[in-house]
Chains A and B, each alone.
Chain A
Amino acid sequence: MGSGIVDIANTSLIFWETITFLILLALLYWFVYPPIRDQIRQRQQSIEQAIDEAEKTRKEARELLEDYRQQIQEARQEARQIREEAREQGEAQRDRAKKEAREEADRMVKRAREDINRERESALRELREEVAGMVVQASEQIIGRSIDRGDHERLISEALDELEAEVTGASAGSSGGGG
């Protein structure tokens, strides 16, 4: 056709197209695709590497954190232990002091009581002797004669016993009333 829109037997175009296209393909295959493919592969590798590294770092961080947590835990435990020990020590100290004080006090009380008892005993004895002497004297003066020594002694002893019973009863009553 003269119009050129159905141009099937165009030998020059067919020839040059074949040559051109083959050369274009060869150039692209040699110069263009290998670097692009390498670049994409390289980037893929570097991305994978970065991901690996990030994962490793994260793992390390987690381990470190775990470590720190454990250390803190241990420190806390230690502190608690120390506190516990201190308290126990303090308590023991206090108990001991208390006990010692109580013992000391007991001892002092006991000693005081013993002293009192001893004093009272000796006072009583003296009193008794004195009273006996005074009674004997008095009775001699009243009666005018010395009575039999044995009777004497017995009477005095009885009287003193009575007196003593009265005194102890009165002292017990007064101390009960006072207490």
Chain B
Amino acid sequence: MGTLSTLAFAQLSRDELQKEILKTWAEAKDSWVIPIHIGPVDLSINKQIWFLWLGAALTFILLFIGSRLLKNRPGAYQVIVEEIYGFGRKFLGGQMGEEAQKWMPYTLSLFVFLLVLNFIGLFPYSYPVTSNIAFTMVLAILTVILYLYQGIRSNGLKTYFGSFVPPNMPAKPIMVPFMFFIEAVQQFITQPLTLAVRLYANILAGHLIIFVFLGLILYLGTFVAFVSVPAALLFYAFEIFVAVIQAYIFAILTQVYIELAMYAGEE
């Protein structure tokens, strides 16, 4: 998060305030940079990438240590890790059929990864990677690739795309292409877009609200702190809840989309 404290007690203009509130996102790309350029493509490592790696590393360490400490009489930490896995089995995989359980490790990894990144983003001076639309979009596109692959693999190319059009349509020459188009847009544009924007917008909005409440102190004066600090705290607590729920929604929707594609042929 930004460095609001350095500017305390200073009355800011509206533009300066906006800049302060958006500082986290505006400066991340230019902080802690190791420049890498391949041709015109910028692959520089910056604050976003560092926090991405931190999240991935924490995700791996969290689960790896849990998996190495396994004993027949589990300790508290093992119970947590096993509970995470059991949570995946119960609440992620197998929504429509037992066969879909095979995607549970993927969606569970996704869930834990997003959860860790969301939580890291709640620390001051960090960068909430999940509030970046490029980040969420990549995961959403990955989801599309997976359900397209699973749909074709489980049903065959013809049955899978055939399932886009409901059977027994009236006025076939017009309605069949129309319905196919609608469903294709739904599957390849709307679903990934909503998936990406939901996570990105929720996390971004949550952080922005906290910054706005705190920013009001700089804009309106110190006395606002009596209202805006409790409000910011309240939203901060709410953000913890949002961090869990949005990670879960992204993971469960990925799982459900894959399972829908898997059983697309069974009407």
Name A's B-contacting residues (CB within 8 A): 2-18, 20-21, 23-25, 27-29, 31-33, 35-37, 39-40, 42-43, 46
Contacts and interface: CB of A to CB of B under 8 A. Distances in A.
- Please report whether the interface of chain B is mostly helix, strand, loop or mixed according to DSSP: helix
A36 B48 CA distance: 31
B63 A32 contact: yes
A30 B256 CA distance: 24
Contact of B67 (A11, A13, A25, A31): A31
Contact of A36 (B46, B70, B109, B142): B70
A16 B133 contact: no
Given A3-B26, A36-B81, 15 more contacts: A3-B22, A8-B134, A10-B29, A10-B48, A13-B48, A13-B135, A15-B43, A17-B52, A28-B60, A31-B64, A35-B67, A35-B70, A36-B66, A36-B82, A40-B82
A7 B25 contact: yes
B246 to A, nearest CB: 17
B3 to A, nearest CB: 16
B68 interface: yes
A11 B25 contact: no
B179 interface: no
Nearest to A39: B70
Interface string B77-114: 00001100110000000000000000001100100010
B138 interface: yes
- Please report whether the interface of chain A is mostly helix, strand, loop or mixed according to DSSP: helix
Contacts of B113: 21, 24
Contacts of A23: 56
10 contacts: A5-B25, A7-B25, A11-B43, A16-B43, A24-B113, A25-B106, A28-B109, A32-B63, A36-B67, A39-B67
Interface of B: 22, 25-29, 36, 41-46, 48-49, 52-53, 56, 59-60, 63-64, 66-68, 70, 72, 81-82, 85-86, 105-106, 109, 113, 131-135, 137-139, 142, 204
Q: Which of A8, A11, A21, A32 has the most CB of B within 10 A?
A: A32
Nearest to B104: A33
A25 B109 contact: yes
Given A4-B22, A36-B70, A17 B42 contact: no
A24 B56 contact: yes
4 tightest A-B contacts by CB? Answer: A4-B25, A10-B134, A39-B70, A4-B26
Given A9-B134, A20-B53, A36-B66, A2 B43 contact: no
B52 A3 contact: no
A36 B85 contact: yes
Contacts of A8: 133-134, 137
Contacts of A31: 64, 67
A42 B49 CA distance: 39
Nearest to B84: A36
Contact of A14 (B45, B59, B109, B134): B134
Contacts of A35: 67-68, 70
Contacts of B56: 20-21, 23-24
A10 B22 CA distance: 17
